[in-house]
Structure 1
Amino acid sequence: MADQVEGTVQNVLEQESLKWVFVGGKGGVGKTTCSSILSILLASVRSSVLIISTDPAHNLSDAFQQRFTKTPTLVNGFSNLYAMEVDPAVEHEDMGSSDGMDSLVSELAGAIPGIDEAMSFAEMLKLVQTMDYSVIVFDTAPTDHTLRLLQLPSVLEKGLAKMMSLKNKFGGLFNQMTRMFGMGDDFGEDAILGKLEGMKDVIEQVNKQFKDPDMTTSVCVCIPEFLSLYETERLVQELTKFEIDTHNIIINQVIFDDEDVESKLLKARMKMQQKYLDQFYMLYDDFNITKLPLLPEEVTGVEALKAFSRHFTTPYQPLASRDQVERLEQRVSGLQHQLKEAEEELERVKRGKHRA
């Protein structure tokens, strides 16, 4: 434990060029709490921050104890922190206009696996980009969902290729059908392909930013257990494959030896956790690893989030360590006092000897 260098998220706060911050990891490890605190810390150094939850099981409202919707809402107690909750699976239906064009595109999208979600994400990114926030934090769903978000540009590309092949295969049949049903040229294949191309342009533009380490980073949240270690390794490997920068890991729910632990269960858990903590430090020796203590209560509400945020910028010191530091400081102070007395005694002896 002694040779494990304690890290913080200070590097993320100091990187002024950052535009996108993804917070990912296995389900149930505290991603929402960590992304909420990260957004609070960023709000203290940036002009405007938006936190977006893309997890269908939204927890942002619970974390801040405030109701959020698909529209960015100012977080209570802040002047520059906004939050929104979107469901990428259905969001474009709500965001688009209610005319037949969007309805028809939606129907067509449903026939191509994955393109529905890709279109939703493109719509959301288009909306977010027009709002001009200094930095945007994504509180993502579990790992697989995060990886799907990163694959969306290629999904859109494949979807467009499929639409083009259908166009070539069926010729003007589609246009004839739309005219037959009185839909007019606005609903022709070219109009639909144009709409999809527009979404593809947006998502490709953002995807370039995602692959720029100056603009985007991903923070992996985990707990010191086997499944979480495995999931973190999978996430890091996939992020590397997609060229997404990642150099921060937050290990949550760590049991520190705060005092003499009598519980056999706690001792066993601490021993088990230490084994995985050692593995994290060995695997990610070039990462900033932040350890957060397991708390007896949930961290909900702005005040609780702010109070807990100090452990993100200053490594947590267990009570036992703090006591040890105090004891050593007292001992040093005592020795310094003894040394001073000894030096004074020596001076007196020297003066007496000199007179003699």
Structure 2
Amino acid sequence: MATKFPEPEDTDEYPPTLQNVVEQNSLKWIFVGGKGGVGKTTCSCSLALLLARVRPSVLLISTDPAHNISDAFDQKFTKYPTKVKGYDNLSAMEIDPELVDPDKIVNEDLDDSDSGIKGLAKEILEELAGSVPGIDEAKSFVEVISLVKEMDFSVVIFDTAPTGHTLRFLSMPNLFIKGMEKLKKVKGQFGSLFTQLLPMLGINSKEEGSSLMGQLQHSAPTVKQINDEFQDPDKTTFVCICIPEFLSLYETERLVQELAKLNIDVHNIVVNQLLRPEKNSEGTIKCTMCAARHKIQSKYLDQIYDLYDDFHIVECPLLQEEVRGVEKVKQFSQYLLGGSTN
């Protein structure tokens, strides 16, 4: 079982550990994300191993096109759940939710004129583009989430792509719901004209349009349920991973602010790749470059503590070797429980 940490006497203090995530049995969805190259995959795999100790079934999903969980566990994973070697209750999979830019549903060949049927069509399509996710994007999201829900794991961990892609994925339920409302409204207002506009949306026939609308409407209850669960702190949380550098700190603040707008819980930050240089008998750091890097990291680490004084902030060290293979990941996971970085 995972190490138990005592609750702090002062309720304003937040232990430097992800034990709060491991012990929150109500969590269904856990997202691990941040800027590229900060160690998201190592942390998500480590968290998956910790959860496998206390949950009956755990699924780790990579939604990053540059899949790395196969490298982390030194085991090949595909778009189908595969058990991690040595674990009966931990599976992993790699998927590519091909998210499409919603602006692409606007036909670029439309007449620039704002008069006549083409002008009206362009106006409607531009309005749709601002409020409706791409058709392929919506279908992809629904398929991914529906598949995961059908598999019925007790907790699902997402090893996410860099920030922009991840925020788009997390906003999909709300965009989907608003998009369906907009489509219904436009269809009701313009009737047969809407049918004529379908080819401009990439839909080749009335039958195909009716079929697609039926599929989307059928999926609407599932998407609404997911949207509610994503906004429920008892069901969903986001763990931010960063390193003590300016760009990473800037990206983390952007991520935290955007998650707040989406009403998604976030109260854990892992500060990874911290340098802990050796010191001589006089207490001076031996390596000049190490001393300089340590000074820079210390500055940004202080800023992280100032910005997120009501977060659990976990410090993880920069290691001399790669974290690859189950045993290495298992060793690294102890840092997420507050293991010493010294």
Normalising by structure 1, report the TM-score. Answer: 0.76
Is the Cα contact below 8 Å between 2:14 and 2:311 reproduced in 1?
no
Do residues 50 (structure 1) and 59 (structure 2) align? yes
Which sits farther off after the overlay, 42-51 or 192-201?
192-201
Task: Check the 8 A contact 1:153/1:200 in 2, yes or no.
Answer: no
Q: Name the residue aligned to 2:192.
A: 171
Please point out which of 11, 16, 38 is paired with 2:25.
Answer: 16
The equivalent residue for 1:268 is 292
- What is the CA distance between 1:263 and its match in structure 2? 1.5
Measure how far apart 1:169 and its partner are.
3.0
Is the 1:13–1:41 Cα contact (8 Å) retained in structure 2? yes
- Assess, with a 3 A threshold, how the Cα gap between structure 1 residues 189 and 117 changes in structure 2: closer, same or farther: closer
Change (3 A) 1:158 1:245: closer
Corresponding residue for 2:37? 28
Q: Say whether residues 1:284 and 2:308 are aligned partners.
A: yes
- The residue type paired with residue 44 of structure 2 is S
Question: What secondary structure does 2:266 align onto?
Answer: coil
Aligned twin of 2:72: 63
Q: What amino acid maps onto 1:27 in structure 2? A: G
Matched residue, 2:162: 142
2:330 alignment partner, one of 296, 303, 306: 306
Q: Which structure 2 segments of 5+ residues have no match? A: 1-12, 101-128
| Shift of residue 234, structure 1, vs aligned partner | 0.8
SS state at 1:69 partner: coil
Unaligned 5+ segments in structure 1 are 92-110, 319-356
Query: Where does residue 93 of structure 2 map in the other structure?
Result: 84
Q: How far, CA to CA, are the matches of 2:139 and 2:92 in structure 1?
A: 21
Contact kept? 2:177, 2:223, Cα under 8 Å: no
Which one is further off, 158-167 or 10-19? 158-167
Query: C-alpha distance in 2, partners of 1:195/1:5?
Result: 45
Moved more, 228-237 or 257-266: 257-266
Tell me if the contact between 2:14 and 2:310 (Cα under 8 Å) persists in the aligned partners.
no
Q: Considering fraction of residues, name the structure with more helix.
A: 1
Secondary structure of the residue aligned to 1:292 is: strand
What does residue 103 of structure 1 align with? Answer: none
Amino acid at match of 1:231: E
Q: Are 1:74 and 2:83 matched, yes or no?
A: yes
Q: Which residue in 2 is equivalent to 1:210? A: 230
Instruction: Determine which of 115, 118, 122 is the counterpart of 2:142.
Output: 122
SS of aligned partner of 1:309: helix
Greater C-alpha radius of gyration? 1
Indicate the residue corresponding to 2:120 in structure 1.
Answer: none
AA partner of residue 271 (structure 1): K
Identity of aligned residues (%): 54
Q: Deviations over 1:21-62 (max 9, x none)?
A: 000100110001100000010001100000011111111111
Tell me, in whole angstroms, the C-alpha distance in 1 between the residues paired with 2:215 and 2:224.
14
Could you state the TM-score of these two structures normalised by the residue count of structure 2?
A: 0.79
Provide the rounded CA distance (Å) in 2 between the counterparts of 1:277 and 1:212.
30
Structure 1 contact 43–81 (Cα < 8 Å) conserved: yes
Contact 1:123 1:199 in 2 (8 A): no
Q: For 1:70, what is the secondary structure of its paired residue?
A: coil
2:317/2:341 contact within 8 Å kept: no
Q: CA RMSD in A?
A: 2.7
Structure 1's 228 and 184: CA in aligned 2 closer, same or farther, altered over 3 A? closer
Match of 2:125 in 1: none
Q: Is the 8 A contact 2:277 2:290 kept in 1?
A: no
Q: 2-side partners of 1:113 and 1:213: how far apart?
A: 25
Task: Indicate the SS of the match to 1:198.
Answer: helix
8 Å CA contact 1:224, 1:276 repeated in 2: yes
> Which of 253, 256, 262 is the matching residue for 1:233?
253
Tell me how far apart the structure 2 counterparts of residues 216 and 90 of structure 1 sit (CA, whole Å): 22
Checking the alignment, whether the CA contact within 8 Å between 1:223 and 1:252 is kept in structure 2 is yes
Query: How many residues are treated as equivalent by the alignment?
Result: 292
List per-residue Cα deviations over 1:306-352 (Å, max 9, x = no partner). 1111111133141xxxxxxxxxxxxxxxxxxxxxxxxxxxxxxxxxx
Change (3 A) 1:139 1:46: same
For 1:347, the equivalent position in structure 2 comes to none
Cα shift at 1:257: 3.6
Q: Secondary structure of 1:271's partner?
A: helix
Q: Closer, same or farther in 2 for the Cα pair 1:41/1:87, shift >3 Å?
A: same
Give the Cα separation in 1 of the matches to 2:339 and 2:15: 6
Aligned-pair CA distance for 1:277: 0.5
- Counterpart selection for 2:269 from 241, 245, 249: 249
